[in-house]
Amino acid sequence: MASRAAAGLLTCLLLPGPAVAFGTVDGGGQHREHERITRAALACSGGRDCFEPVTLDQLAGDGRGFGTVGAPDRTEVSIPAAHCDDADFLAGDYPRTREQATTGLTDCVTHLRRRFQEAVRSAGQLLDDGGGVIGAEVRLDTGCRLAAHGEQRAKCTTLESFGRALHGVQDFYAHSSWADEADPARPVAADNPPGMNRRAPSPVLDLRGDGVPDVPRDLATGCFVLQDTVPGSGACAGRVTHAALNKDNGLIDPVTGAVTSAETPRGRVGRNFEKAVTGAVVETRHQWRELRAALRDEYGERRAAAMACALTRDDPVDECGTSGSGRTVALILAGLMLAGLAVLARRYLSLS
């Protein structure tokens, strides 16, 4: 969820008030909300269907870096679809039509589907032809860089694409009216748009699909510009703004996902911040299940299981299968052992 950290930091330096975002940094009103949501959703707590610590650092971030879930705040700050922004609508006399708002949400889903499918394709490079994990493709002795900066390891490129998709689906809950409610003490208007009060996962975020998403009539997100205010200014004048609708900032327990404060006006209405965070956590887990299902569809059960293992384990070569070169060495050693046993058997027989 983002005012988008790079732009968010610039905003908090240039403009009064806190930056707005499910944040990727500490400061300017942000508390690394994307990282904490991702950790609450996917960190290991006794099961196997989870991300081990070193790998999770690459996906979620670790306080020193954004992690791949924060990548859109580095390279897609000005792309509304990457953050599910600019799909604003309000019934009545409003400067945008419902069709324009639906197009904005469809653009978001299309963008996130593309990132999701990139992850599916990149995962295919994790294994050799025999289904073994390729050591060079999964090593994390150095942290993952962005693909745009030269990263080629398949584990890192897969985590980047998946992290970018997760960023967008998490932003959907912070930036849209899906899970929240309007302030009942004020009239519905551009500064207090209606909420839908729905739970996660959202069928709108069908990233495995390829059809047109079914967007409810009342679903909207906010218009976003750097001068993000209520009422809106510039291109957002007279419109529902990101500032009016977002539930981006507050304190989140990275283990449980529990919230202890909300720091935006919309987030402080009722349990809006809590519901946005809970929705984002549930959706993140759902999309990880969806990615594993997509891997099974594309590569079959056995290879998909090895890919999922390679993506989540910190030492996947040992835990998920032997690389091709390792298997070759093992076969050679096994052959030498058998040959040695045969020689010993012949000697024993000749002496008996």
Structure tokens at 166: 């997760």
Please tell me the predicted confidence (pLDDT) of residue 19: 38
Alpha-carbon distance values, 141 to 52, 68, 144, 237 (Å): 15, 17, 9, 49
Q: Is the confidence at residue 333, as pLDDT, over 60?
A: no
Could you report the per-residue pLDDT of 237-276, keeping only the tens digit for each?
999 999 999 999 999 999 999 999 999 999 999 999 999 9
Q: Are strands 250-252 and 30-31 parallel, antiparallel or unpaired?
A: unpaired
Alpha-carbon distance values, 318 to 122, 230, 240, 310 (Å): 21, 54, 52, 10
CA-CA distance, 235 to 173, in Å (whole number)? 23
Q: Is the confidence at residue 142, as pLDDT, over 80?
A: yes
Q: Where are the beta strands (DSSP E) in 15-172?
A: 26-27, 30-31
CA-CA distance, 310 to 291, in Å (whole number)? 14
Average pLDDT, the chain: 88
| Contact assessment for residue 244 and residue 192, using Cβ atoms and an 8 Å cutoff | yes
Nearest CA to 103 among 4, 212, 9?
Answer: 212
Residue type, 93: D
Domain boundaries, the chain: 5-321, 322-352
Residue type, 55: T
Distance from the Cα of residue 133 to its chain's centroid: 24
Alpha-carbon distance values, 214 to 30, 140, 211, 285 (Å): 32, 40, 9, 22
Could you report the per-residue pLDDT of 172-211, keeping only the tens digit for each?
999 999 999 999 999 999 999 999 999 999 999 999 999 9
Distance from the Cα of residue 25 to its chain's centroid: 16
Among residues of the chain, what percentage have pLDDT more than 90? 79
Q: Phi first, then psi: what are they for 244, rounded to 5°? A: -80, -25
